[in-house]
Amino acid sequence: MVDPITGITAAYAAVKTGIKMGKEMSSLAKDLGTLFDFIDGAKANHSSKKRGSANEEAMQTFIERKEAEDMEENLRNIVIQTRGVGGWAELVKLRADIRVQRKKEEEDARKRRAQLIEDIGFYILVGLAVLLTAGVGILAILHFQGRL
């Protein structure tokens, strides 16, 4: 797992280099996506690695979040310079929409798995009930025929 700050710095450098080379934003999509992933990760939580005292861990988390926010601000400025304020607003909206859509897809998949497990359990119970009933019926027939 890449350190969040290292990842953010590398992804930002790739984006910045691409822009300096005159690349279009569309050709930088992968680098931009990686950068946003690192930014979101750094802002969302702190590393689970123990870094010493709680104060040290809190300070490291604070630094990572602030550096992520700074990189996001730099990225915002780049997008605004190349696509205008409307471009940034559109990007923010797209990110939110995609995040909501993915969360919905994950929830739907979880529900389908749960329903499948429930259905399989039901069919197993029905199958066992049929086998048990058939077994009891066969035993009853054999008993009444005197074979048991």
Spans of all domains in the chain: 4-106
CB 72 within 8 A of CB 88: no
* pLDDT for res 49: 60
Q: How far is CA 98 from CA 17, 113, 133, in A?
A: 27, 22, 52
* pLDDT for res 36: 83
pLDDT classification of 112: cutoffs 50, 70, 90: very high
- Is the confidence at residue 54, as pLDDT, over 90? no
pTM (two decimals): 0.62
CB 69 within 8 A of CB 43: yes
User: pLDDT tens, 20-35?
Assistant: 777 766 777 787 888 8
User: What gap in Å lies between CA 28 and CA 134, rounded to an integer?
Assistant: 66
Longest CA–CA span in the chain (Å) reads 95
Lookup: tokens for 80: 């605004």
Lookup: tokens for 24: 């279009």
Straight-line distance from the first to the last Cα atom of the chain, in angstroms, rounded to the nearest whole number: 68
